[in-house]
Structure 1
Amino acid sequence: MPLVTIALPVRNAGERIDRVARSVLGQDHPDLEFLICDNASDDDTGDRCRALAARDPRVTYRRHPENIGILPNFMSAVRLASGEYFRWVSDDDVLEPTLVSRSLKVFGEDERLVLVTSQTSYTGDDGVVSTSPFSDRGLASDDPLVRFTTMLRLLNSSHLLIDPLYGLFRRDVLRALPRRNILREDEVMATKLALAGPWGHVDEILAHRHWKTEKPSVLARRLGVPSWQAHCATTLECLEIYRWVDDPANTPELTDDQRRRARAAVRATWARRERRVAEHRARRMARLATGAMRGDLGFSTGR
């Protein structure tokens, strides 16, 4: 039985700790480490975590003396984990008891895999629960270009289909991929993972998450990145992906022709997103102009 680490990067989660801990420690896979990386919480999170660790030897509690930021805390969990397999969990997530065992079964059936995802249900800001089955086989391909272009396409699709960063990883693959703190870095990381190797998928709802819609400016503040990134997030993201695929040292699995086609796919993704943003702005300006004209006409008629 391989050791699996489920890691909770957390700050000021309070009573939410108990619920997520129950779902993690309730996994039917016996060899489990529940690693909690506390990012200098200043509420009762630390006390709750220490109590958990005292009750259950599978719990490992690590606390950063200072707030190191969201992404560095996530990456610290990868470094501190002991398991051969690794998964992140958030403080408002709930995992089904068979998530780890079902994912490991898929790994056992295909030694090529670097990551296994599962179907997930999402609770939105309005309380509505949504999910969607995922049947695309592109990410299971042996061809890294097919996986890469599939992921670019999925990044422009519904978030309900697949969540790359909340699957079960081979930890050594995850540790080898660098991450840089920018807006939409999770999407950049998804493309790197697509290039790293084939993925598996369990088409069952094995995780329940909350989906919170945030403005780019708010997200930038939470991530601790410059506010100007909110105005050019697409360009920064595509530039980061482009630089990654353009460097043979990063992507030795790509031939020269595949690398050329990968660069073209990134440029097409950038153009498509920018065109969509421009269309959205044009519609918004048209609505504002129409509203202003109606208001002026109404005012004139009243006079």
Structure 2
Amino acid sequence: MTNNQPRLSIGLPVYNGEKFLKEAIDSLLAQTFEDFELIISDNASTDKTEEICRAYAVKDKRIHYYRNEKNIGGACNFNRVFELSSGEYFKWAAHDDLHAPDFLMKCIEVLDQDPTLILCHSKIYFIDEHGKFLQNYDIQLQTDSPKPHKRFHELLSNYLSYQTYGVIRASALRKAPPIGSHGAADAIFLLRLGLLGRFYEIPEYLFFARSHSQQSLSLYFPDYLSFTNNNPQYSLSMLPDFYAYTVWFDSSKKGKILFPHWRIFWEYLLSIWYVPLNYHERICCHVSLLKKLKGTEYLLIKDLLLAAQVFSKRLQRKSIQEQASFFGN
């Protein structure tokens, strides 16, 4: 690119990532495609993350390190690295995952050859905390369909949102709303990207997702490794703790009355109206969403019951405090 602008920007949001951060950065610096900038946004880490990042930034001028004065939540930090980017293409990177050396090159070659594609990723397998193979991730989504309502239907499926870590056209990202501060925000973000354009999956295992006890998936979605093929036996009890995920995405919501499943449903519904679709396509999207909701209605009722319990406890505490204050005077 001209004026020293890189073709690709890589955004790495991180909080307390010292254990795996060096391996993740080394994996990116070892890429055969070298025309990129690496933007690291440190979410006020309290471990050695800052020390590690500054040392790498001194050695490689492609690395730009930023540190937030306070923790702004996971979603805001994800959005921040894109806001700081300048490349034609953009890729998010996690502080604990690894990539094959030709991951970037192969993704960019695909996008360069087909302007109708907006995102390119690869097949995935899981590694443990020592980098050893655990299992393949074999969910196949037909997100290369030319019909947006069919891509929408596919992206309503049960899957893990690793496509987020593919290479994406920055022009498409600018058309999509930023990642939200609510449960399933990454899946809803992908859904909206899918309405904007086609995805392509390289049929090679080039992305290695690390599974370990400190990651958000393990903390709030302990059964996530069961969601790794197209024909699993799912139960609603296996779903993530969306209240905890909401707080992870936006820490300011901790302790507040939330309706996480209602919010997710609302965001899915809004997605249908974020991009221009014809009447037939919108109807198809609404039908797919209703099918997705079927069997999960009790989760919406659960939100209302939990909110009522929290509200009742708050009223009781307030009443006790007022009585104590009255008798104290």
| TM value normalised by structure 1 | 0.80
Separation in structure 2 between the aligned mates of residue 227 and residue 185 of structure 1, nearest angstrom: 19
Among 119, 136, 154, the alignment partner of 1:131 is: 136
Q: Which amino acid aligns with 1:209?
A: A
> 2:246–2:260: 8 Å Cα contact kept in structure 1?
no
Ranges in structure 2 where 5+ consecutive residues have no aligned partner: 212-216, 221-240, 302-329
Matched, 1:267 2:290: yes
Among 268, 290, 305, the alignment partner of 1:241 is: 268
Cα RMSD (Å): 2.6
Matched, 1:186 2:195: no
Q: Which amino acid aligns with 1:130?
A: Q
Residue 219 of structure 2 aligns to a residue whose secondary structure is: coil
> 1:238–1:267: 8 Å Cα contact kept in structure 2?
no
Task: Tell me: CA distance 1:172–1:221, structure 2 relative to 1, closer, same or farther (3 Å).
Answer: same
234-243 or 209-218: bigger deviation: 209-218
> 1:133–1:203: 8 Å Cα contact kept in structure 2?
no
- Residue in 1 aligned with 2:39? 35
Among 100, 105, 122, the alignment partner of 1:118 is: 122
215-224 or 259-268: bigger deviation: 215-224
190-199 or 1-10: bigger deviation: 1-10
Q: Which amino acid aligns with 2:117?
A: L
Task: Tell me: CA distance 1:73–1:135, structure 2 relative to 1, closer, same or farther (3 Å).
Answer: closer
- Residue in 2 aligned with 1:79? 83
2-11 or 217-226: bigger deviation: 217-226
Deviation string, structure 1 residues 176-223 (Cα, Å, up to 9, x no partner): 211321011111112101101011111111111124433314434433
Deviation string, structure 1 residues 217-251 (Cα, Å, up to 9, x no partner): 44344332456788x54432122111221x3xx22
In the TM superposition, what are the counterparts of 1:190-209 in structure 2 within 5 Å?
Answer: 190-209=190-209
Deviation at 1:105, TM superposition (A): 1.5
- Residue in 2 aligned with 1:67? 71
Residue 141 of structure 1 aligns to a residue whose secondary structure is: coil
Q: Which amino acid aligns with 2:104?
A: V
- Residue in 2 aligned with 1:298? none
Deviation at 1:276, TM superposition (A): 9.8
Aligned length: 267
Q: How many percent identity over aligned positions?
A: 26
- Residue in 1 aligned with 2:144? 140
- Residue in 2 aligned with 1:163? 162
- Residue in 2 aligned with 1:284? none
- Residue in 1 aligned with 2:98? 94
Task: Tell me: CA distance 1:234–1:218, structure 2 relative to 1, closer, same or farther (3 Å).
Answer: closer
Deviation at 1:11, TM superposition (A): 1.4
Among 248, 252, 264, the alignment partner of 1:222 is: 248
Separation in structure 2 between the aligned mates of residue 72 and residue 6 of structure 1, nearest angstrom: 16
Deviation at 1:83, TM superposition (A): 1.4
Separation in structure 1 between the aligned mates of residue 57 and residue 270 of structure 2, nearest angstrom: 42
Task: Tell me: CA distance 1:14–1:96, structure 2 relative to 1, closer, same or farther (3 Å).
Answer: same
Task: Tell me: CA distance 1:123–1:275, structure 2 relative to 1, closer, same or farther (3 Å).
Answer: farther
> 2:125–2:209: 8 Å Cα contact kept in structure 1?
yes
Q: Which amino acid aligns with 2:135?
A: S
Q: Which amino acid aligns with 1:271?
A: K
